[in-house]
């Protein structure tokens, strides 16, 4: 039975050590949330939320096979070398449909199954331009507000 056509939300969360290195939320209605770029040092990057009508969710779903969705579950990769890493990929859908992948592994050891890695790579590529544009927009807003307002001009 095909489940992809019932899905309408996706959450990807990658933690490296104690820090969240990547967070991506995509929905069929165009909502996007993202923080980070996957490196363990991106936890100081902004969490940005917005909308896009570019079909990010649908484009990502086209790269995921039905077979991959059948093997949802928990994967523990041993031995764990380096910082502990945890990857979660959660698809939600109509009628409370939920498909979860959770993988724990070491930063310097064998990582998640290739199918899960490919989902992360595709989600990153699909949302990267949006994320970078939003960061630039945020910088422009911060710069403009700092230039037009003195610190004591609270009414502006």
Instruction: Render pLDDT for 57-92 as a digit per residue (tens, 0 to 9).
Output: 999 999 999 999 988 999 998 889 999 999 999 999
Please give the distance of CA 65 from its chain centroid, rounded to a whole number: 19
Task: Report d(CA 122, CA 119) in Å as an integer.
Answer: 5
Q: Classify 148 in phi/psi space as left (phi over 0), alpha (psi -120 to 50) or beta.
A: alpha
- For residue 93, name the pLDDT band (cuts at 50, 70, 90): very high
Question: Where are the extended beta strands (E) located within the chain?
Answer: 7-16, 19-27, 31-36, 48-51, 73-76, 84-93, 98-106
Does residue 115 carry a pLDDT above 90? Answer: yes
Query: Distances in Å between the alpha carbon of 39 and those of 23, 24, 34, 125?
Result: 11, 14, 14, 15
Coil, strand or helix at 69: helix
| Token pair belonging to 48 | 């940005």
Percent of the chain residues topping a pLDDT of 90: 61
In CATH, what is the architecture of 4-148?
2-Layer Sandwich (3.30)
| pLDDT digit string, tens, across residues 5-16 | 899 999 999 999
Sign for the pseudo-dihedral over CA of 136, 138, 140, 146 = negative
Mean of per-residue pLDDT scores for the chain: 87
Q: What is the pTM of this model?
A: 0.86
Could you give the CA distance from residue 34 to residue 127 in angstroms, rounded to a whole number?
Answer: 8
């Amino acid at each position: 039975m095909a489940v992809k056509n019932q899905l309408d939300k996706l959450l990807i969360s990658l933690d490296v050590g104690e820090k969240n290195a990547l967070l991506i939320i995509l929905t069929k209605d165009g909502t996007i949330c993202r923080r980070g770029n996957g490196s363990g040092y991106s936890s100081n990057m902004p969490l940005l939320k917005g909308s896009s009508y570019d079909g990010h969710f649908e484009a990502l779903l086209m790269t995921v096979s039905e077979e991959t969705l059948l093997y949802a579950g928990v994967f523990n990769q041993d031995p764990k070398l380096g910082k502990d890493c945890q990857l979660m990929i959660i698809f939600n859908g109509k009628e409370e449909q939920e498909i979860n992948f959770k993988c724990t592994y070491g930063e310097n050891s064998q990582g998640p199954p290739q199918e899960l890695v490919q989902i992360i790579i595709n989600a990153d590529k699909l949302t990267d331009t949006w994320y970078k544009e939003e960061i630039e927009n945020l910088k422009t807003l911060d710069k403009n507000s700092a230039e037009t307002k003195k610190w004591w001009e609270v009414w502006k």
